[in-house]
Amino acid sequence: MLFIAMSVAFIAAVILTPLVIKLAFRIGAVDRPNYRKVHARVMPRIGGLAIFGAFIIGYAILLPSDEHAAGILVGALLIVIIGFLDDMLEITAKAKASGQLVAALVVVLWGGLQIEMINLPFIGQLDLGYLSIPITIIWIIGITNAINLIDGLDGLAAGVSAIALIAITVMAVLMGNVFVAATASILAASSLGFLIYNFHPAKIFMGDTGSLFLGFMISVLALLGFKNVAVVSLVIPIIMLGVPISDTFFAIVRRVRMKQPISAADKSHLHHCLLRSGFSHRQAVLTIYGIAILFGAVAVLFSQATVWGALLLVLVMLIVIELFVELIGLAGANYRPLLNLVRMIGK
């Protein structure tokens, strides 16, 4: 039955996307070129409606049950509305953040989804108490916006999201979480169906309608699947979402170093750096896909490793990430502490 739901979701996305393209041009939901963007023509940008519609169709076939399901679906609908309004009207950052906060509160307060404790190696279980709700909200809003930030090249956000959702599905199957596995796989199928029209050269962008929806769902599903895992609880989803989280983290580092507002826009995200390094549009996207797959594989290995093995794996991963960041200039052209240290030791 799950295979049928996934197949229907994929086909629904393939059918719905051309309809959304026509709708976008009719209502003026288009993205016009400017100095920060890599496309050179007017593009429809509410493709997230096709992803959302396909997901709902696939979900309705299977109707996976969970105590948090109603809150998640209502929160997702609110996020889609906020994204659609932004794609249509370009609402203020404050209004968009307020909408995300409301959606997160729906999941937390109505849906009952909270990070109640964190398992730390050598320390044990750390109950979060009153910090449970704010930490959960920060996680949801943070991941939601991390997916939004990487939506800068054709097929990038849709592909990275699909990879993350497939990794979440694999982990959920290993842990016996049927609801997360079913929901994540249906959403992955919807994203892949949309990707047919969104991969370079794209015929449509997902817009904030899609990137916020995918980010919101990924944040919630990752939380629901791994919040009580008997290892370092949040490390697995953090590794799994390594591409958007790393890009967001080093964007903050870059802006702090350059004394710019954290919310300031620039052209130094991961995909921009790869393009400046000589990668073609398609090569940059495929490279980031490869990195996302690597993160997913590391997350699976981490979940099966001993405590010492897991710590060693994280240490090696952090060193590799830092070297990669410094080589491509993701945190700024002059940010090379590890490379400088290596050179000093070499002398």
Pick from 232, 219, 231: which is nearest to 184 by CA? Answer: 219
Helix, strand, coil shares of the chain, percent, nearest 5, are 70, 5, 25
Q: Is 261 helix (H, G, I), strand (E, B) or coil?
A: coil
Strand spans (E) along 223-300: none
d(CA 42, CA 287) in angstroms, rounded, equals 26
Collapse the DSSP code of 341 into the 3-class scheme (helix H, G, I; strand E, B; otherwise coil) and give the result: helix
| Whole-angstrom distance, CA of residue 261 vs CA of residue 120 | 33
Q: Which of 51, 50, 49, 60 is nearest to 5 (CA)?
A: 60
Task: Answer for the pair 222, 107: CB distance below 8 angstroms, yes or no.
Answer: no
Six-digit token string for 192: 């892949």
The residue written with tokens 């008997």 in the block is 230
Count other C-beta atoms under 10 Å from residue 88's C-beta: 18
How far apart (Å, rounded) are the C-alpha atoms in residues 329 and 257? 13
Task: Return the DSSP state at 125.
Answer: E
Q: What are phi and psi of 151, to 5 degrees?
A: -80, 70
Tokens matching residue 58: 């696939």
208 annotated to a ligand binding site? yes
d(CA 202, CA 332): 29
CA distances in angstroms from 301 to 31, 65, 296, listed in the order given: 40, 29, 9
**What's the burial of 7, exposed, middle or buried (CB within 10 Å: 0-12/13-18/19+)?**
middle
Known binding residue 148? Answer is yes
> What element of type H or E holds 220?
helix 207-226
Please state the residue numbers annotated as binding site: 148, 208
Please state the residue numbers annotated as binding site for Mg(2+): 148, 208
